Structure 1
Amino acid sequence: MDKAGRPVLDEDGNQKSGFLEKACPKLKQRDHGSWYYSIELPPGPDGKRRPRAKKGGFRTKKDATTAAEAVWKLAQGGVDVLSEETVADYLRRWFANRVDLKRSTRTSYKDYIERVFIPYLGATKLLQLRTRHIQGMSEKLWADNEVHAENQRKAHQALAAERAAHAAWKDCPHRPRPEGLRQAWQDAKAALTEARALPTHVTGPGTQLRMRNTLSGALDDAVDEKLISENWTKGVVLPKYVRPKPLVWTPARIEAWRQTGEKPGKVMVWMPEQTGEFLDAVAGHRLYPMFHLMIFRGLRRGEAAGLPWAETDLTHGTVHISEQLVVASYDVWEDTPKSESGERTIKLDSETRKLLELWRERQAGERAEWEESAKAWKDTGLVFTWEDGRAYHPEHLSQTFTRLVARLGLPPVRLHDLRHCAATLSLAAGLHMKAIQNLLGHGSYSLTADTYTSVLPQFEDAQAEAPLALVPRKSPAHRDVAHEPDAKAGAQTAENPAGVPSEDAA
């Protein structure tokens, strides 16, 4: 407005607008206006003057001063306080620059960023991100987990209802079948489709920890880039994560499993007797040499599936683990082992070595037969292949193993658990923990030691008895002192009915 109170117009006839600041005629009113700060920032990298940092809406001068001081300190520390970059913009830019990541790691990071971080935090400006925002994201995940777990339960119930309705329709002896049965089956199928459409993904403590570590790495880089002052993930509280340790299938656990159908732990290991039963039962199976290799030498599924003949020295009885087949969403690709120490040379036992020699002869015969029939044999160079030379899909190996275990009626273990069998058998056989670490290709000694702290029951008995042998005794340790009273010690006898200690005993 001009001094006469008339609107001031621009060239297009629109009223000009801007901050009145101290010129506002209503500023003296108690409830009108708010405090702003305006800061002259240090020159940019090119030495040119930068726009002033300005923000308003503060109720008091003290609030504005406090905020201005915080921004000033950030600016003096090199943080770009004028940045408008959001968390979503930064995380996508950060991910695009992480060309050093393995493909499997990139897949996980992209999933965390697009499915979790951006929906919860993406609209927040990176400069305004705080611990409370990240903690709120975690708490929302916990709440979603409860809903998703309930959705899983409903999906299981809907599946059982659909199967029951289908069985009732299929097994009906009357012809034609009553229309009501078919309609009930159709309704059950529709209910199952609806139940399966609900989100059922539960984010466990281990995944939440990996998510926080991913976000922490991104924010560490943001601190180094002078985009934020500190890593706000440091104060976030998550559910306690305990790495699952292998449990042995003891007779008591097997009996409980047969009654309830529930495994006592996520990671289970066979006893030697069960391992032998499995190997004897599948000795004629095509994949028997691979199973034998994994059980006794501890290869991962992808390492066994991706093992090339070029890294297999049967003359000296060694295999060099330098690559593996990795799976994500059923896509397969070659990659290096899981950790730096995952690349290792493993000495073969005599039986596995002989099996691989026989397998090589069999594979050569299959190749000759395939080529004689004018079919192209795919030369992958891998040890374990189909009859036409194609590589095995790692998921196919897991599914085949699971079916074999179920058919044999053995307590369930995963294909990956054969690796734990190898570690447990080696530990029970007396190998040092360091040797087991090298066998498995673990990145640290502590990981191996923390995972395999228990041994098989028959070896626990020997360990429990070992300390007794170190203490010399005049009489057996199990002597029943209740039936061999000692008068000197104050025992109640015919000569000493009160059981009063003698002078010698004293």
Structure 2
Amino acid sequence: MTPRTTPPSRRSRANGDGTVYQRKDSRWEAAGYVLAPGNTRKRVHVYGITRKEALAKLTEKIAASNRGLPTAAADSTVGDYVTYWLGTVAVHHLRENTHTRYAACIRLHLIPGLGTKKIARLTARDVRTFLDRLRTTCQCCAQERDTGRRRCCAIGQCCGKTLSPLTVTYVHSVLKSALEHAVREDELPRNVARNVKTATPRPRRFRPLTAAEARQLLQTASSDRLHALYELALRTGLRKGELLGLHWEDLDLDAGTASIHRSLQRTRTGGLTTLHTKTRASERRIALPTECVHSLKNHRERQQEERRAVGARWSDSGLIFTTPIGGPLDPANLTRRFGRLLRCAGLRRIRFHDLRHSTATLLLEQGIDLVVIKELLGHAHIGVTAGVYAHVRLRLQRQAINALGDALGTGDDDPDDPPAAVVVR
């Protein structure tokens, strides 16, 4: 007898492989059991335009479940889902320090505020109410953190400290990212957090150094062993981590260039660790000013003297800016050194990162094109550069308007005289 052939859509599947069938709306649906948070098994449903697509999605989920990775189902709570998302999804594409901030955000705000809510029943109103509560409620009172410390509401004197708009926006963005993954995985039909609009927080105000203050700082730092670092920071706008992560092999002092492709950061698990730069756009090659080339050559000679002085105790890390025995410089220690340098120079207190802002501000005031500044600073988009330094652009606009006013003002010229040629830069 000739064996009967079964149509592909009705072919039987082995136990544990789930089921695949076509819906009335012509889409294909696949269902199967996978591991869920809490060491339980849940039946999940995935969808596709074709049978092959739906089956591939289900196979991927079952394979991940067989490797011990839980798959959150739609009846999970928000707390369970964001914990699953952070530990099995976000951990693979976030830098460690960013992952640590996400974990703190989830632990301190999302789980206490929305943790018991079923993710499938979460509404835009729930999210908006939660964010409004973060803005207006003292969190140490709301979460009873003050009870054990005998502070705040525990003694009848509420501190009234609420989260800043920037922190509230950050909490909102973490929730949006987690729910967006649930939508991509067909666990939710839509991301309700995207329907909630939060006010754009005001950018941090900073007061960059003026040209006179920058010269005063460099003059004071001329006797410091890290003079070359401060020179680079002010003349090139490199980030703190990029400066501390520079190796001698990254420099070409004869050509006067530097390649920026790594950053030194302190992480919770690895301590001082060399990582990739902040973004892909941060990987760049910059031209070094003549003053930086001279100071770097002097710094190399001083480093060689320090190496001979300590002998076998020298740690050959290849870094340009090191401790007196060759080890990497801790970013926190550099911040403290910079604070002492400001006091010695008689300057107001600023952040080390404000040196980078000072570089960009001084360049803009000299009329340097915004595109050139974007490439030098390593911003991903020119909109970032334009947005951060909008206050400088307004000042330049006023100068341009005043110049135009002078040109259009009344004078003794004959009105019939032809206009003089003007060079537009």
Aligned-partner SS, 1:326: strand
The partner residue of 1:431 within 337, 359, 368 is 368
Deviation at 1:475? 2.8
Q: Decide which of 163, 173, 184 is 1:213's aligned counterpart.
A: 173
Equivalent in the alignment of 1:25: none
The alignment's TM-score, normalised by the length of structure 1, stands at 0.61
Cα distance change, pair 231–370 in 1 and its aligned pair in 2 (3 A): same
How far is the alpha carbon of 1:457 from its aligned partner? 11
Residue equivalent to 2:301: 361
Residue deviations 1:70-117 (CA, integer Å, cap 9, x gap): xxxx99999x99843221221122112221222122112111122211
Q: 1:86 aligns with which of 77, 83, 87?
A: 77
Q: CA deviation at 1:278?
A: 1.5
Whole-angstrom distance in 2 between the partners of 1:335 and 1:422: 24
Give the aligned residue type for 2:272: V
Q: Which of the numbers 324, 332, 342 marks the counterpart of 1:395?
A: 332
Distance 1:309 1:82, change over 3 A: closer
1:240 and 2:195 are equivalent in the alignment: no
Which runs of no fewer than 5 residues in structure 1 stay unpaired? 1-43, 52-73, 149-189, 245-265, 477-506
1:6-31 Cα distance to aligned partner (Å, 9 max, x none): xxxxxxxxxxxxxxxxxxxxxxxxxx
Residue 240 of structure 1 deviates from its aligned partner by 3.5
Do the aligned partners of 2:74 and 2:188 also contact (CA within 8 Å) in 1? Answer: no
Within-5 A mapping of 1:264-279: 266-279=205-218
Matched, 1:449 2:383: no
Letter in 2 for 1:369: A
On the 8 A contact 1:306/1:323 being kept in 2, the answer is: yes
Deviations 1:395-439 (A, max 9, x none): 111111112213433122211100011101111222100000011
2:271 corresponds to 1:334: no
Contact kept in structure 1, 2:272 and 2:328, CA below 8 Å? no
Q: What's the CA shift for 1:456?
A: 9.7
Matches within 5 A, 1:203-352: 203-244=163-204, 266-327=205-266, 331-352=271-292
Deviation of residue 222 (structure 1)?
A: 0.6
**Quick one: structure 1 residues 299 and 229, their matched pair in 2 at CA, closer, same or farther if it must change by over 3 Å?**
same
Q: Deviations over 1:222-267 (max 9, x none)?
A: 11212112111123243431223xxxxxxxxxxxxxxxxxxxxx41
Summarize the alignment of residues 105-124 of structure 1 with structure 2, pairs less than 5 Å apart: 105-124=98-117
Show structure 2 runs of 5+ residues with no match: 1-16, 22-29, 33-44, 49-53, 55-70, 142-149, 414-425
Instruction: Within 5 Å, give how 1:161-176 maps onto structure 2.
Output: none
**How many matched pairs?**
344
2:260 partner amino acid: I
- Residue pair 1:81, 1:127 contacting (<8 A) in 2 also: no
Q: Deviations over 1:183-229 (max 9, x none)?
A: xxxxxxx999x99xx99985322222222122111111111212112
- 8 Å CA contact 1:378–1:390 kept in 2: the answer is yes
Alpha carbons of structure 1 residues 104 and 432: separation in structure 2 relative to 1, 3 Å = same
Question: In structure 2, what is the Cα distance between the partners aligned to 1:114 and 1:442?
Answer: 31
Q: What one-letter code is carried by the residue in structure 1 that aligns with 2:238? A: L
CA 1:452/1:81 → structure 2, altered by over 3 Å: closer, same or farther?
closer
Dislocated runs of 4+, deviation >6 Å: 48-51, 74-78, 198-201, 456-461
Structure 1 vs Structure 2 CA RMSD: 3.5
When the two structures are superposed, what TM-score results if normalisation uses the length of structure 2? Answer: 0.72
Distance 1:457 1:121, change over 3 A: closer
2:262–2:276 CA contact under 8 A, matched in 1: yes
Deviation at 1:361, TM superposition (A): 1.2
| Equivalence for 1:380 | 317
Match of 1:46, as an amino acid? T
Matched with 1:408 is 345
User: Alignment partner of 2:192: what SS?
Assistant: coil
Output the amino acid matched with 2:107.
E
Mapped partners of 1:457, 1:234: distance in 2 = 33
Alpha-carbon distance between aligned partners in 2 of 1:204 and 1:293, rounded to the nearest angstrom: 34
